């Protein structure tokens, strides 16, 4: 018997048990992933009496079986009967092979750990097939520049801080989903386009471009980038979707359609600093995707700008006076990011990896339990465990277990989270440039994955890192310089930060993205994403306000595991109670 094992999706989670049972029945079992030398593999298939495989291209190898051999196709859950029978069953019979099918039940499928039983995956799987085939996005016209609606200062060159430069040319997208309906604003795309134009009068640096003045003094590598106030504008597009938001399931458990946002491809000096697309759905709802050059603003700053656009769309004036350059902000060197980026430049790290998109739900009961355990263990600490700390600790543990990093107990499993430091540096109200730092939490894989250790132990590590922020910000430039950065972090840790064991976390709660209102109320979903996923990432504490949402849960999205590990990751998360 030959069992064809898949590495990614549609794989047998109990492969070892299947093989053991087959051997107990008297079969000589071989397990192969159908890769390698074709001639050699064809010869092996021809020597077998039985070929067993899950539905997929591996079953085409049945053409090499001897006459009267048996083909067993395992058909996954999801109304795949027609494809299974017509793609592989009928051809097998036509080649005088004996053909059997085994259909996976919903209880046997790993989907049971990823979705609730009342989800469309179980209630109407065919509807999902139809949605995926029919959902399309069409732009009304080519993207065009939107310039400030009134006069703005020009010729000004705004200096960029070390926090800006560390994130320059890295793009980020925030997708805001609005339900619309009977009271929906007329022509959302045009309303928002006009409001953006008006907002750029107040946020005129965003209508500019990045320019370079050559190497900085005393630095042979980094260029002295500035934000030039040119008034060239931001890029805008209007689009329509061929379905309702309910048809698209409000982008639950599936990544948003790629065409819902404008993308940079490769973000460069001459590109607009902000790209906005408004996509209107058949139900009257719409999605607003803002993609920006991270060097001009952090998430907090972009949320402030988008709220101002919303206020202007509603006929109001911006409630916050924007500040892009604050000379009082001290230089806060980004040692950790610098060390990682320098290693990335000089070694083969961050190779393109296809991370699976995961929509995560952490039960409120679990969060409350962790908070209670924290109170018991740290009675003298007046600050309670936060939702971010509990959720991040849980995801960190579940992911470490899922990818098998805990098998090497001493291997580093670093966690890096973005921290807003506006209050630490005394930033002016309305400052929307980057004002954050990457905070490192170090731990061995074994201690992170340990079943014996409590989640509150990981919360303690995260809390310790948060408590170091003030001292590290005050310390400023101490220990700067690429060689010292690497030495301070340690070669093994820097290597881990560039690899699959690391987890990068950025909380989307508290930024103010859920306060964006163009006239139809706040968004029902806010989803962050990166155009280029260079490292395992997770975005916890997402705002969500759909009527049928589970209020007793905290949600997150993540691109932090490959398809090989996604089922085990979701299984680990499902055990959180």
552-569 pLDDT, tens per residue? 789 999 999 998 899 899
Q: Is 4 helix (H, G, I), strand (E, B) or coil?
A: strand
Q: Report if residue 322 sits inside a domain.
A: no
- Considering the domain architecture, whether residues 475 and 424 belong to the same structural domain is answered as yes
- Considering the domain architecture, whether residues 408 and 547 belong to the same structural domain is answered as yes
Q: Report if residue 318 sits inside a domain.
A: no
Q: What is the pTM of this model?
A: 0.77
Do 209 and 270 touch, CB atoms closer than 8 A? yes
- Considering the domain architecture, whether residues 84 and 189 belong to the same structural domain is answered as no
Sheet holding 98-103, edge to edge: 30-32, 2-4, 50-54, 70-75, 98-103
Catalytic residue among 176, 294, 335, 565: 294
Q: Where does a domain end: 73, 90, 109?
A: 109
- Is 325 annotated in the active site? no
CA 543 to chain centre: 15
Return the CA Rg of the chain: 26
* Residue-level length of the chain: 577
E strands along 272-377, which residues?
274-280, 286-293, 355-363
The CATH number given to whatever domain includes residue 64 is: 3.40.50.360
Handedness of CA 305, 311, 314, 317 (dihedral sign): negative
DSSP state string for 80-118: -HHHHIIIIIHHHHHTT-EEEEEEPPTTTSTHHHHS-TT
Q: pLDDT tens track of the chain, all 577 residues?
A: 999 988 767 888 899 999 999 999 999 999 998 777 888 899 999 999 999 999 988 899 999 999 999 999 999 988 788 788 888 998 999 999 999 999 998 888 888 877 777 776 787 776 655 445 456 899 999 999 999 999 999 899 999 999 999 999 899 999 999 988 656 788 999 999 999 999 999 999 999 999 998 665 444 455 789 999 999 999 999 999 988 888 777 777 667 888 999 999 888 899 999 999 999 998 889 999 999 999 999 999 999 999 999 999 999 999 999 999 999 998 888 878 777 776 665 444 445 578 999 989 999 999 999 999 999 998 877 789 999 999 999 999 999 999 987 666 889 999 999 999 999 999 999 999 999 999 999 999 999 998 677 899 999 999 999 999 988 887 764 334 444 444 467 888 888 998 899 999 999 999 999 999 999 999 999 999 988 888 999 999 998 665 445 457 899 999 999 988 998 999 999 889 8
Q: Report if residue 283 sits inside a domain.
A: yes
Q: Report if residue 419 sits inside a domain.
A: yes
Domain count, the chain: 3
Facing residues of 439 across strands?
Answer: 417
Phi, psi of 487 (to 5 degrees): -65, -45
Phi, psi of 461 (to 5 degrees): -65, -40
| H-assigned helices in 403-515 | 422-425, 445-449, 455-467, 469-475, 482-489, 491-497
Q: Report if residue 126 sits inside a domain.
A: no
Q: Is 172 helix (H, G, I), strand (E, B) or coil?
A: strand
User: How many other C-beta atoms can be found within 10 angstroms of the C-beta atom of residue 177?
Assistant: 26
pLDDT of residue 258: 86
How many angstroms separate the CA atoms of 246 and 538, rounded? 25
CA contacts within 13 A on the Cβ side of 408: 8
- Is 294 annotated in the active site? yes
Q: Report if residue 127 sits inside a domain.
A: no
Six token digits for residue 105: 């039940």
E strands along 187-242, which residues?
209-215, 223-228, 234-241
How many angstroms separate the CA atoms of 422 and 434, rounded? 9
- Considering the domain architecture, whether residues 207 and 279 belong to the same structural domain is answered as yes
- Considering the domain architecture, whether residues 345 and 422 belong to the same structural domain is answered as yes
How many angstroms separate the CA atoms of 69 and 6, rounded? 22
pLDDT of residue 339: 76
Handedness of CA 236, 240, 244, 248 (dihedral sign): negative
Catalytic residue among 517, 520, 565, 567: 517
Do 400 and 449 touch, CB atoms closer than 8 A? yes
Q: Where does a domain end: 94, 109, 124?
A: 109
Q: How far is CA 196 from CA 312, 523, 544, in A?
A: 8, 18, 24
- Considering the domain architecture, whether residues 348 and 472 belong to the same structural domain is answered as yes
Do 55 and 10 touch, CB atoms closer than 8 A? yes
Burial 134-162 (b: 16+ CB within 10 A, else e): eeebeeeeebeebbbeeebeeebeeebbb
- Considering the domain architecture, whether residues 303 and 359 belong to the same structural domain is answered as no
- Considering the domain architecture, whether residues 275 and 401 belong to the same structural domain is answered as no
Reported as type and span, the H/E element at residue 155 is: none
- Considering the domain architecture, whether residues 543 and 453 belong to the same structural domain is answered as yes
The CATH number given to whatever domain includes residue 513 is: 3.30.559.10
pLDDT of residue 218: 43
- Considering the domain architecture, whether residues 98 and 181 belong to the same structural domain is answered as no
- Considering the domain architecture, whether residues 404 and 529 belong to the same structural domain is answered as yes
Q: Report if residue 141 sits inside a domain.
A: yes
pLDDT digits (tens, 9 = 90+) for 225-257: 999 999 999 999 999 998 888 877 777 766 788
Do 162 and 268 touch, CB atoms closer than 8 A? no
Do 41 and 32 touch, CB atoms closer than 8 A? yes
How many angstroms separate the CA atoms of 402 and 561, rounded? 8
CA 507 to chain centre: 11
- Considering the domain architecture, whether residues 431 and 382 belong to the same structural domain is answered as yes
Handedness of CA 396, 400, 406, 409 (dihedral sign): negative
State the residue range of the domain holding 171. 137-313
Q: Where does a domain end: 109, 124, 157?
A: 109
pLDDT of residue 479: 38
Six token digits for residue 64: 């090499």
| H-assigned helices in 115-216 | 120-123, 125-134, 162-165, 188-202
Contacts of 242 (CB under 8 A, 6+ apart): 134, 135, 136, 137, 138, 282
Q: Report if residue 116 sits inside a domain.
A: no
What counts of helices (H) and strands (E) characterise the chain?
A: 20, 21
Six token digits for residue 84: 């299974």
């Amino acid at each position: 018997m030959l069992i064809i094992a898949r590495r990614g999706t549609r794989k047998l989670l109990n492969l070892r048990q299947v093989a053991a049972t087959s051997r107990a029945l008297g079969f000589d079992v071989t397990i192969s992933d159908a890769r390698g030398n074709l001639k050699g593999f064809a010869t092996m298939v021809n020597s077998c009496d039985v070929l067993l495989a899950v539905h997929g291209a591996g079953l085409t190898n049945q053409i090499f079986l001897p006459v009267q051999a048996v083909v067993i196709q395992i058909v996954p859950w999801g109304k795949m009967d027609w494809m299974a029978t017509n793609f592989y069953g009928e051809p097998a019979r036509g080649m005088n092979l004996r053909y059997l099918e085994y259909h996976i039940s919903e209880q046997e499928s790993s989907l049971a750990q990823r979705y609730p039983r009342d989800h469309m995956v179980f209630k109407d799987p065919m509807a999902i097939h139809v949605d995926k085939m029919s959902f399309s996005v069409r732009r009304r016209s080519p993207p065009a520049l939107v310039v400030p609606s009134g006069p703005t200062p020009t010729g000004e060159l705004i200096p960029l801080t070390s926090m800006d430069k560390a994130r320059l040319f890295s793009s980020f997208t925030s997708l805001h989903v609005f339900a619309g309906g009977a009271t929906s604003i007329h022509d959302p795309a045009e309303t928002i386009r006009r409001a953006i134009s008006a907002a750029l009068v107040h946020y005129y640096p965003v209508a500019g471009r990045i320019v370079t003045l050559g190497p900085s003094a005393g630095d042979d590598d980094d260029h002295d980038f500035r934000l030039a106030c040119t008034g060239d504008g931001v890029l805008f597009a209007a689009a329509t979707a061929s379905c309702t938001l309910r048809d698209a399931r409000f982008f639950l458990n599936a990544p948003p359609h790629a065409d819902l946002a404008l993308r940079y491809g490769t973000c460069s000096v001459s590109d607009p600093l902000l790209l906005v697309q408004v996509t209107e759905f058949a139900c009257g709802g719409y999605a607003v995707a803002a993609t920006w050059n991270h060097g001009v603003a952090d998430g907090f700053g972009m949320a402030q700008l988008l709220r101002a656009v919303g206020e202007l769309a509603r006929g109001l004036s911006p409630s916050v006076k924007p500040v892009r350059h604050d000379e009082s902000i001290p230089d806060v060197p980004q040692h950790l990011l610098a060390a990682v980026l320098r290693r990335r430049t000089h070694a083969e790290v961050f190779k393109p990896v296809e991370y699976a998109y995961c929509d995560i739900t952490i039960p409120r009961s679990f969060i409350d339990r962790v908070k209670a355990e924290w109170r018991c263990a740290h009675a003298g600490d007046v600050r309670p465990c936060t939702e971010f700390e509990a959720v991040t600790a849980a995801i960190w543990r579940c992911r470490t277990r899922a990818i098998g990093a805990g098998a090497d107990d001493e291997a580093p499993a670093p966690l890096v989270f973005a921290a807003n430091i506006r209050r630490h540096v005394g930033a002016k109200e309305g400052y929307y440039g980057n004002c954050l730092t990457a905070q490192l939490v170090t731990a061995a894989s074994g201690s992170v994955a340990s079943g014996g250790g409590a989640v509150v132990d990981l919360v303690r590590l995260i809390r310790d890192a948060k408590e170091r922020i003030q001292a590290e910000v005050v310390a400023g430039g101490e220990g700067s310089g690429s060689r010292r950065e690497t030495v301070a972090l340690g070669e093994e840790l820097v290597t881990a930060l560039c690899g699959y064991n690391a987890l990068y976390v950025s909380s989307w709660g508290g930024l103010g993205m859920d306060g964006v209102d163009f006239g139809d109320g706040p968004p029902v979903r806010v989803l962050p994403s990166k155009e280029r996923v260079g490292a395992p990432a997770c975005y916890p504490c997402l705002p969500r306000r759909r009527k049928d949402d589970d209020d007793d849960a905290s949600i997150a999205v993540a691109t932090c595991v490959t398809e090989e590990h996604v089922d085990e990751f979701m299984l680990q998360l499902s055990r959180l109670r």
